[in-house]
Amino acid sequence: MDPSRTRPLQPGAAGTVEMVIDAFRNARLELIYDALPASYQQDVTQLVHDLPDQVDPELWDAALQVLRKAVHVLEEKRDIFIALLTRPGSASPAEITTAWGEVAIACDLVVRGILADPEAWKTLDVREALRKDISRVLRRVMALSALANPVDKNPLLELDLVEVDLVETAGTTARVRITPRGASGVEPTKFVQIDGKWIPQSLAESWPETMRTARDTLRQWRSVSEAERRSRQEQLQVIDRVLDQMLMARNVDQLAAAATPIVLQVTQWSAPITTPPAKLPEGPLEGVSILIQRELTDEELTRLLRVLESMTDDPEQEYHLATANGGKTFISIKPVADLTAFAAKLTFADEPTVDATARTITLRNIRVP
C-alpha cells in the first residue's frame, strides 16, 4: 500500500482501482503486475521468455550498442540537458543535475543488466525485473520530471484527486465510478473477477485477442525477409550516427538539431499503433528534417506543411512526419535532393541553419505563411 495513503483501501474492485492508482503514482510496476489474474501473468511471462528466440541475435546486439551509446549521451551532455530543463518554476540546476545523474545511472543498470544477456530473458523473473530495474528507472524519471516542472504542472498530482466509488457488486461482477478532478456524470466502469482478481471487463474481453496479436507479432519478427532485416539494421545505424552528432553538440540548439531525426523516427515507429500504416511514396528517398524553435499550433502546422509540400521535388510523391511538443516542432519531409536549394526557399524564417551531414535545417523566428 502507498505509505502516504491516509485511509485503508476500499474492499473489492474499488480497492483494486485505488491500489493501481497508488502503484502508478509511486512507480511500483510490480504491484500492477500483481493485480493481473495468474493466467494473465503467465501470458506476459511467456511472451517475455519467447522474445530472444524471435529476435535476430545481430539485431539484438546492434540495438544494445545503440542503447549503450544513448546512455553515454545522457552522461556526456548532461550540462546541456540541464540547461534545457531548468526554467522559471523548476528546481535549482543543482537539484536537477543530481536527479539527471540518477536517471542516467538507472538506465545504465538496465542496459548493462537485463538487456545485456538475451539468454537470461528466457528465465527472467518478470515481477522482479519490474520491481527492481524498470520501476527504478521510472521512479527516477518521475522525480526528475517533478523537479523540472512547476508543482502545478505535475501530472502525478492529478492522480491524488481521482475519486473512486463502488457503485455495486453482484457475485463476480462490479461497477466502479472513477471520477477525475473536475469531471461529472462519469459512467461506472464494469469489472469482472478472474482468478480472484478484479479487472476491467474491457480488459478481460480483449485479452485473448491481444495475446494472439502479440504472439503473431513475435513470430513475424523471426520470419522477416533479408530486405526487412537490412532495413532495421539501417534504422539502427541512422540512430547511431545521430547519437554521434549529439555527442559533438556544444549547445542546446546543436543538440536539438542533432536529435531531430530520432524524434521523427520514433514518431514513425509509433504511428502504426494508433493509425493505419502510411503508404510510402515511390521515387527518391532523400529528405530533410526541420527543427523549429517553437511549438506550432495545429492550424499553423497544417498551413506550413501545405507550403513545404509544394517546395519538395515532387509534390505528388510528398511524404512527411510531423510532431509539435516540448516547445519545439519537428518535421521530416521528402523527396528533397538538394538541401541547400530547399533551405533557400524558406524565406519565412530568419537565417536557416543547415547541417548537411545530418540533413537538418533549424528555423528561428518563423512566420508561418
Alpha carbon separation from 187 to 121, 163, 174, 177, 210 (Å, rounded)? 41, 13, 13, 6, 25
CA dist 368 and 46 (Å) reads 51
* Residue 183 backbone dihedrals phi, psi, to 5 degrees: -90, 155
Asked which of 188, 210, 225 is the last residue of a domain, the reply is 225
Q: How far is CA 92 from the centre of its chain?
A: 26
Q: Is 244 part of a structural domain of the chain?
A: no
Same domain, yes or no, for 156 and 39?
yes
Closest CA to 176 of 188, 163, 194, 161: 188
CA dist 166 and 18 (Å) reads 11
Q: Is 232 part of a structural domain of the chain?
A: no
Percent of the chain predicted with pLDDT > 70: 87
Same domain, yes or no, for 256 and 219?
no
Higher pLDDT, 107 or 54: 107
Same domain, yes or no, for 146 and 287?
no
Contacts of 332 (CB under 8 A, 6+ apart): 260, 261, 264, 268, 287, 288, 289, 290, 320, 321, 322
Which of 50-64, 95-109, 346-360 is modeled with the greatest confidence? 95-109
Q: What is the mean pLDDT of residues 224-240?
A: 78
Q: Are 255 and 249 in contact (CB under 8 A)?
A: yes
Is residue 277's pLDDT more than 50? Answer: no
* Residue 251 backbone dihedrals phi, psi, to 5 degrees: -155, 175
Q: Is 93 part of a structural domain of the chain?
A: yes
Q: Is 238 part of a structural domain of the chain?
A: no
Is residue 92's pLDDT more than 60? Answer: yes
Give the pLDDT of residue 5. 58
Lowest mean pLDDT among 14-23, 38-47, 220-229, 238-247: 220-229
CA dist 79 and 56 (Å) reads 36
CA dist 151 and 35 (Å) reads 30
Lowest mean pLDDT among 30-39, 43-52, 201-210, 280-289: 280-289
Same domain, yes or no, for 261 and 220?
no
Closest CA to 331 of 363, 294, 290: 290
CA dist 72 and 104 (Å) reads 8
Which of 1-5, 157-161, 241-245, 324-328 is modeled with the greatest confidence? 241-245
Could you tell me if residue 333 is left (phi over 0), alpha (psi between -120 and 50 degrees) or otherwise beta?
A: beta
pLDDT averaged over every residue in the chain? 83
Give the pLDDT of residue 190. 97
Give the pLDDT of residue 211. 94
Lowest mean pLDDT among 2-11, 13-22, 240-249: 2-11
Residue 277 domain boundaries: 249-364
Give the pLDDT of residue 270. 42
CA dist 89 and 149 (Å) reads 7
Q: How many helices (H) and strands (E) does the chain have?
A: 15, 9
Burial of 289 (0-12, 13-18, 19+ CB in 10 A): buried
Q: Are 290 and 363 in contact (CB under 8 A)?
A: yes
Is residue 42's pLDDT more than 90? Answer: yes
Asked which of 225, 241, 266 is the last residue of a domain, the reply is 225
Give the pLDDT of residue 271. 40
Same domain, yes or no, for 217 and 257?
no
Which three cell numbers mark 24? 502508478
Q: Provide the domain count of the chain.
A: 2
* Torsion sign across C-alpha atoms 121, 127, 128, 129: positive
Same domain, yes or no, for 206 and 111?
yes
Q: Is 185 part of a structural domain of the chain?
A: yes
Same domain, yes or no, for 17 and 81?
yes
Contacts of 38 (CB under 8 A, 6+ apart): 195, 197
Same domain, yes or no, for 142 and 75?
yes
* Residue 346 backbone dihedrals phi, psi, to 5 degrees: -85, 60
Q: What is the mean pLDDT of residues 166-174?
A: 94
Which three cell numbers mark 124? 527472467
Q: Is 241 part of a structural domain of the chain?
A: no
Same domain, yes or no, for 75 and 148?
yes
Lowest mean pLDDT among 35-39, 40-44, 91-95: 91-95
Closest CA to 71 of 102, 96, 98, 93: 102
Give the pLDDT of residue 272. 40
Same domain, yes or no, for 164 and 265?
no
Per-residue model confidence as pLDDT tens digits over 254-274: 777 677 666 555 544 444 433
Looking at the chain, how many residues does it have? 369
Give the pLDDT of residue 307. 92
Asked which of 190, 225, 260 is the last residue of a domain, the reply is 225
Higher pLDDT, 70 or 245: 70
CA dist 106 and 100 (Å) reads 10
Q: Is 242 part of a structural domain of the chain?
A: no
Q: Is 38 part of a structural domain of the chain?
A: yes
Give the pLDDT of residue 269. 46
Higher pLDDT, 59 or 208: 208
Q: Are 36 and 198 in contact (CB under 8 A)?
A: no
Same domain, yes or no, for 49 and 160?
yes
Closest CA to 52 of 122, 104, 106: 122
Its pTM surpasses 0.95: no
Give 71's pLDDT tier (boundaries 50, 70, 90): very high
Higher pLDDT, 114 or 227: 114
Same domain, yes or no, for 184 and 290?
no
Per-residue model confidence as pLDDT tens digits over 296-355: 888 888 899 989 999 998 888 777 777 776 678 888 888 888 888 999 999 888 878 888
Give 276's pLDDT tier (boundaries 50, 70, 90): very low
Give the pLDDT of residue 274. 36
Alpha carbon separation from 216 to 48, 220, 260 (Å, rounded)? 14, 6, 32
Strand order in the sheet with 350-355: 319-325, 328-334, 288-292, 360-364, 350-355
Is residue 217's pLDDT more than 70? Answer: yes
Amino acid at 75: E
Give the pLDDT of residue 227. 76
